[in-house]
């Protein structure tokens, strides 16, 4: 449940539509506030204003004609106008005080029946000074049916105190219709907002999945191209939208790269054809001349020159071989095979060389495994690694070639020696072409061995790792452990 949500949240479009929904909710709240203000609040203000005007008028009457006349006026105004005309209902409530300071009711309605439930009125609605603690906003009982069901309506009120007698006048007006209209608008807006947000959410999910699919096509293309399939293109929907334009640009970019690669390969082949052939002839001619010449010094010189030409040729061939491997065109040559057979052959080939170099050689094969590989390329890679180990391990050392299964079904081929090792900072660098470390400058070699292993590993989708050998990090001769880790073989489709 959580994982798909997390994945959804990672989707850019989904996140964008979430933000859009949030912004929408916020702006609807603002609109809602405005509408509420424009309808309800202004109407309430109008009611308040009317009450204040009335209080002013009644005050004048009280001051000029006295309380009993005011009482008469009020009773006149408060004559019932019928239950249907609540809007124009005005309630009047007097609190007159006797000599002892006790209040007694007055006005057009008795207080106790009038106010719905003083106990339940929240404190902020209460007006201090009015004895029964009622407030500017209050509920009142508009009618009581025969079986005792009360109709409660909302109202607003104002309090006026006539000094010096202390007589208080409270007037109120029914605002139920205004409040109800406001609530109706608010409810409608809230529901539409909720609808809009949930629709936004659904379309966000839909859009983001659609978008994820299209982006997925781009990502798939990128991985395929990286794996060497330069012929792949992004499918287009011809809609001309940004993604479609991006696809078009990517495709034309790939076309261009493909053309360049073809041109480069052609140039490479041309070089192979035009340069390697004369170089080979040079090599052979020097060799032939060397074997025919009688003079000892001249023969030696010719042989040396011929060896140099041979070295050049080998380097050249190595570079082209790596380039061809890196182009990754030959992944289809990989077949399931048992690597132990390859390792046994290599071990058999190099055992005498190890013995001559004064090295102990061991082949350790743990279990039976199958990997997808090309026998020739794998043999060459392992042979390069074993040759390196022989070259850089001093007499008396040991070389171990090992095959084993490691975690999650992957198969590891490792070559461990007790030589100088390679410092961690150099370990990535040595996999590049022509990189030779200071310590090995004087040893023969072209600096292509590990680059070729790297290219072979890449073609096999294998990891190529260098680490310290059995000597350990702190030792001054840590040794080197080189591992090729092959992915778990997938069942044929």
User: Which residues contact another protein by CB under 8 A?
Assistant: 269, 272-273, 276-277, 279-281, 283-284, 287-288, 290-291, 303, 306, 313-314, 324, 330, 333, 345, 348-350, 352-353, 356, 374, 376, 379-380, 383-384, 387, 390-391, 444-446, 449
Q: Considering beta carbons, is residue 39 or 315 the nearer one to another protein?
A: 315
At its nearest, how many Å lie between another protein and the CB of residue 287?
4
Q: Considering beta carbons, is residue 234 or 455 the nearer one to another protein?
A: 455
Rounded Cα–Cα distance for residues 107 and 128 (Å): 20
Q: Considering beta carbons, is residue 54 or 307 the nearer one to another protein?
A: 307
Q: 179: which residues sit within 8 A by CB, 6+ positions away?
A: 40, 154
Q: Considering beta carbons, is residue 371 or 381 the nearer one to another protein?
A: 381
Please spell the DSSP secondary structure of 140-172, one letter per residue. EEEEE-TTS-EEEEEEEEEEEEETTTTEEEEEE
At its nearest, how many Å lie between another protein and the CB of residue 380?
4
At its nearest, how many Å lie between another protein and the CB of residue 480?
17
Q: How far is CA 379 from the centre of its chain?
A: 42
At its nearest, how many Å lie between another protein and the CB of residue 313?
7
* Residue 61, CB-side half-sphere exposure with 13 Å CA sphere: 15
At its nearest, how many Å lie between another protein and the CB of residue 348?
6
Please report the sign of the dihedral spanned by the C-alpha atoms of residue 425, residue 428, residue 430, residue 435.
negative
Instruction: For 380, list phi and psi in degrees, rounded to 5.
Output: -65, -45
| CB burial readout 269-278, b (16+ within 10 A) else e | eeeeeeeeee
At its nearest, how many Å lie between another protein and the CB of residue 387?
5
Residue 237 near residue 266, CB atoms below 8 Å: no
Q: Considering beta carbons, is residue 229 or 348 the nearer one to another protein?
A: 348
Q: Considering beta carbons, is residue 159 or 451 the nearer one to another protein?
A: 451
At its nearest, how many Å lie between another protein and the CB of residue 474?
32
At its nearest, how many Å lie between another protein and the CB of residue 333?
6
Q: Cα separations (Å) of 309 from 93, 235, 380?
A: 121, 50, 23
Per the listing, tokens 């790939």 go with 254
Please spell the DSSP secondary structure of 225-238, one letter per residue. HHTT-TT-------
Q: Is the bond preceding 483 in cis, omega lying within 30 degrees of 0?
A: no
Closest CA to 74 of 174, 171, 173: 171
Rounded Cα–Cα distance for residues 310 and 287 (Å): 10
Q: Considering beta carbons, is residue 161 or 269 the nearer one to another protein?
A: 269
At its nearest, how many Å lie between another protein and the CB of residue 365?
18
Rounded Cα–Cα distance for residues 212 and 332 (Å): 30
Q: Considering beta carbons, is residue 180 or 349 the nearer one to another protein?
A: 349
Q: Considering beta carbons, is residue 57 or 355 the nearer one to another protein?
A: 355
At its nearest, how many Å lie between another protein and the CB of residue 213?
37
Q: Considering beta carbons, is residue 206 or 434 the nearer one to another protein?
A: 434
Q: Considering beta carbons, is residue 248 or 387 the nearer one to another protein?
A: 387
Q: Considering beta carbons, is residue 115 or 350 the nearer one to another protein?
A: 350
Q: Cα separations (Å) of 253 from 225, 247, 258, 260?
A: 12, 10, 9, 10
Nearest 5°: CA angle at 151, between 104 and 77? 50
Helix (H, G, I), strand (E, B) or coil at 465: strand
At its nearest, how many Å lie between another protein and the CB of residue 402?
20
Closest CA to 480 of 406, 430, 409: 430
Rounded Cα–Cα distance for residues 473 and 483 (Å): 17
Q: 297: which residues sit within 8 A by CB, 6+ positions away?
A: none
* 374, burial (CB in 10 Å: exposed 0-12, middle 13-18, buried 19+): buried
At its nearest, how many Å lie between another protein and the CB of residue 429?
20
């Amino acid at each position: 449940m959580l994982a798909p949500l997390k994945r959804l949240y990672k989707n850019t479009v989904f996140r964008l539509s979430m933000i859009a929904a949030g912004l929408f909710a916020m702006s609807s709240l603002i609109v809602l506030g405005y509408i509420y203000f424009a309808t309800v609040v202004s109407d309430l203000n109008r009611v308040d204003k009317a009450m204040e005007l009335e209080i002013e008028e009644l005050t004048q009457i009280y001051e000029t004609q006295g309380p009993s006349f005011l009482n008469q006026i009020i009773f006149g105004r408060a004559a019932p106008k019928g239950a249907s005309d609540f809007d124009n209902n005005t309630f009047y409530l007097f609190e007159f005080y006797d000599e002892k300071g006790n209040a007694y009711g007055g006005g057009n309605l008795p207080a106790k029946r009038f106010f719905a439930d003083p106990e339940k009125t929240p404190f902020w609605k209460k007006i201090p000074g009015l004895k029964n603690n009622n407030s500017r906003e209050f509920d009142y009982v508009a009618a009581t049916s025969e079986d005792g069901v009360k109709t409660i309506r909302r109202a607003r009120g104002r309090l006026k105190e006539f000094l010096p007698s202390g007589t208080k006048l409270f007037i109120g007006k029914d605002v139920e219709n205004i409040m109800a209209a406001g609530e109706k608008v608010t409810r409608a807006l809230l529901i539409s907002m909720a609808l809009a947000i949930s629709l936004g959410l659904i379309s966000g999910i839909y859009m983001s999945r659609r978008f994820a699919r299209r982006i997925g096509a781009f990502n798939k293309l990128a991985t395929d191209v990286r794996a060497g399939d330069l012929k792949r293109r992004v499918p287009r929907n011809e809609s001309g939208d940004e993604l479609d334009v991006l696809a078009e640009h990517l495709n034309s970019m790939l076309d261009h790269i493909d053309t360049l690669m073809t041109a480069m390969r052609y140039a490479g082949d041309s070089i192979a054809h035009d340069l390697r052939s004369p170089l080979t002839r040079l090599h052979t001619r020097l060799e032939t001349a060397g074997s025919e010449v009688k003079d000892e010094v001249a023969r030696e010189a010719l042989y040396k020159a011929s060896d140099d030409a041979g070295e050049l040729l080998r380097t050249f061939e190595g570079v082209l071989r790596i380039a061809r491997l890196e182009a990754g065109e030959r992944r289809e040559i990989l077949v399931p095979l048992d690597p132990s057979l390859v390792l046994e052959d290599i071990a058999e080939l190099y055992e005498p060389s190890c013995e001559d170099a004064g090295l102990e050689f061991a082949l350790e094969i743990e279990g039976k495994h199958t990997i997808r590989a090309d026998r020739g390329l794998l043999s060459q890679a392992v042979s390069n690694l074993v040759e390196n180990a022989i070259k850089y391990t001093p007499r008396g050392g040991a070389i171990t070639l090992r095959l084993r299964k490691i975690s999650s079904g992957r198969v590891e081929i490792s070559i461990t020696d007790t030589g100088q090792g390679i410092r961690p900072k150099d370990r990535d660098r040595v996999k590049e072409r022509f990189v030779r470390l200071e310590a090995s400058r004087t040893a023969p070699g072209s600096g292509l061995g590990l680059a070729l292993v790297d290219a072979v590993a890449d073609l096999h989708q294998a990891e190529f790792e260098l680490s310290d050998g059995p000597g350990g990090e702190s030792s001054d001769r840590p040794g080197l452990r080189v591992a090729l880790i092959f992915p778990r073989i997938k069942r044929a489709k």
